[in-house]
Amino acid sequence: MLTGPLSARARELTAQGAAFVTATVVRVEHPTSAEPGDVALVHEDGSIEGFVGGVCAQNSVRLYSLKAIERGEPLLLRILPEGPVVAKSGANAGGRDQGHEVARDEGSVTVQNPCLSGGAIEVFLEPYLPPPRMIVAGDTPIAAALLRLGPELGLDAVDSRGADSGPPVPSAEDLALVVAAHGRDERAILRAALEAGVPYVGLVASRRRGGAVLDALREDRVPEALIERIDTPAGLDIGARTPSEIALSILASVIEIRRHASTAPRSWAAAPP
């Protein structure tokens, strides 16, 4: 459990929207310099704040923390000294200072580190990732409902009209762009999101008007492969009628992309207490 300066630092990183891992020593076999309860924060650049053992253990913790960030899933890391352990199928070799992977099970990995002092250590790695951004374009009841409901589902719902820093620019790091503008300033932001590779791009419109917008994008020479990615009418067909119901149907499509599509960004974990 994080306490003191590390707890404050974790809250600071969360407020900054930074990705990091809490690495907690849960078990040791001496000789080792680490003790159960030792904690460190591992940043996305590989730097470490705190203590989870000597340099050899830290190198393995760093490597697998970065993998935990990439996959968005917690991991139990077992670090053993070099010995007669037979590698299981699927194990991978790492550098000498990072350890050699000898076993992998669901939610855990075991590595042998030849420079370890002779003991063993188990470290629980828990990634904390910023919530995925969903840009909402439009000043309509549906847009307002999306901005209201999105955070309840762990999304960073952002109004495309922006704030003091200006309107947000779609990027590949975003999860979704939803245009609910009733015909106002739609084409430019749709094109920007498609060209940036935003995984979900939705347009709130009737089939007829949505088709007209797609035709206009074709006239703008947007590639057909990109145009086909636009979800219009946006959302799952659940018979939605009210703005909140329509927003819910759209958010269901966004969550589907987040959880299942191979093109979706990494998963996002909750912020630490």
Please name the amino acid found at residue 192. A
Identify whether residues 65 and 158 lie together within a single domain.
no
Identify whether residues 151 and 251 lie together within a single domain.
yes
- Domain ends where: 128, 151, 167? 128
- Domain ends where: 128, 158, 176? 128
Q: Which domain holds residue 36?
A: 4-128
Choice between 112 and 22, residue whose per-residue pLDDT is larger: 22
How far apart CA 231 and CA 113 sit, in angstroms, is 49
Is residue 266 in a domain? no
Q: What is the DSSP letter of 166?
A: B
Identify whether residues 28 and 121 lie together within a single domain.
yes
Is residue 74 in a domain? yes
CA distances from 150 to 18, 110, 230, 251, 256 (A): 20, 38, 20, 7, 14
pLDDT bucket at 261, cuts 50 / 70 / 90: low
Q: What is the pLDDT of residue 270?
A: 41
| Strand ranges in 93-155 using DSSP code E only, listed in sequence order | 100-105, 108-113, 120-128, 133-137
Instruction: Please compute the mean of the pLDDT values over residues 16-41 and round it to a whole number.
Output: 93
* For residue 203, pLDDT beyond 50: yes
Tell me the pTM.
0.70
Choice between 195 and 105, residue whose per-residue pLDDT is larger: 195
CATH no. for residue 184?
Answer: 3.40.50.720
Closest CA to 64 of 109, 104, 19: 109
How far apart CA 71 and CA 48 sit, in angstroms, is 19
Identify whether residues 229 and 216 lie together within a single domain.
yes
Identify whether residues 120 and 141 lie together within a single domain.
no
Is residue 272 in a domain? no
Identify whether residues 173 and 232 lie together within a single domain.
yes
How many domains does the structure of the chain reveal? 2
Q: What is the pLDDT of residue 229?
A: 97
Identify whether residues 120 and 184 lie together within a single domain.
no
Choice between 203 and 115, residue whose per-residue pLDDT is larger: 203
* For residue 155, pLDDT beyond 70: yes
Identify whether residues 120 and 25 lie together within a single domain.
yes
Q: What is the pLDDT of residue 1?
A: 65
Is residue 47 in a domain? yes
Identify whether residues 117 and 149 lie together within a single domain.
no
Could you tell me if 103 and 91 are in contact, meaning their C-beta atoms sit under 8 angstroms apart? yes
Instruction: Please compute the mean of the pLDDT values over residues 103-114 and round it to a whole number.
Output: 86
Q: In terms of C-beta density within 10 A (0-12 exposed, 13-18 middle, 19 or more buried), how is residue 110 classed?
A: buried
Please name the amino acid found at residue 101. E
Is residue 161 in a domain? yes
User: Please, which residues bridge with residue 163 across strands?
Assistant: 166
Tell me the pLDDT tens digit for each residue of 27-36: 999 888 999 9
